[in-house]
Amino acid sequence: MNRLIDIAAESDIPAAYRAGPLGALLRYHNLGADMPKRAEKPELLIGMCMDSRKHLRIPDNFAFILRTGGANLRQSEFRVSYAIAVGGVRAIALIAHTNCGMSGLAARREPFVTGLVDAGWERPEAEEQFDRFLPSHEIGNELDFIVSEARRLRTLYPKVVVAPFVYRVEDDHLCAVRESGPPGSSPR
C-alpha cells in the first residue's frame, strides 16, 4: 500500500483536514492558494525537521513552528503545550521529510565525531555525546516515526487534531500520510 497521499488538487486533501488549518496549509503550500500576507492569529502548530532544504509557503503568523531533528517532539512537550494552552491552536501538522539525517543516524557517528573534533571538542567527549543522545534522536523510518509521533501526541492532547505529513525534498511537495491501525486513525 502506498502510504503517501499526494495532494495535487483540492479533492486530494483528506476530508478530516479539509475545513481547518491543516487543509489551509496544504492549499497554501501545494496548491498555490491565495493567502493573506499575515494571518490574524496562529491556527496551527507545525513540528518539522531542522533540515535547511524545507521551506513552507504559508502566511506570516499562520503557525507556531518547532524545528527539531527529524520532527522529533519528544523533548518539546512544554513548547507544544504552550502553543495549545496559551496560543490556542487545536491542530498540529507533523512534517517528516525524505532523506532525513535522523534516519539511520548511527551510520553518521564518525562524521559527527570528526565534526565536533574539528570544532574544538576532544574525541572521547564527542563520542560520548553521540552515543548518549543517539537513542533519543534516531527516528528510524521517516513514515513509521511520524505516524508514531502523531499517535503519541494525540494521546497527550486528545482534543487536538494531529496530522502526519511528509515533505518531499525532491519536489518541495507535502504529502499526507495514510496510517494503518484502528478505524478513524487514517485520513480519509
CB atoms within 10 A of CB 122: 10
Domain ranges of the chain: 4-101+143-177, 104-138
7-45 per-position pLDDT tens digit: 999 999 999 999 999 999 999 999 999 999 999 999 999
Cell of 169: 525534498
Is the pLDDT confidence value at 182 over 50?
A: no
Is the pLDDT confidence value at 183 over 50?
A: no
Cell of 64: 507556531
C-beta separation of 39 from 69 below 8 A: no
Beta strands in 53-160 (DSSP E): 63-67, 91-97
70-108 per-position pLDDT tens digit: 999 999 999 999 999 999 999 999 999 999 999 999 999
pLDDT for 47 = 97
Give the DSSP H/E element, type plus range, for residue 45: strand 44-48
Cell of 82: 504552550
Q: How many residues are there in the chain? A: 188
C-beta separation of 167 from 98 below 8 A: yes
C-beta separation of 6 from 180 below 8 A: no
4-101+143-177 has which CATH code? 3.40.1050.10
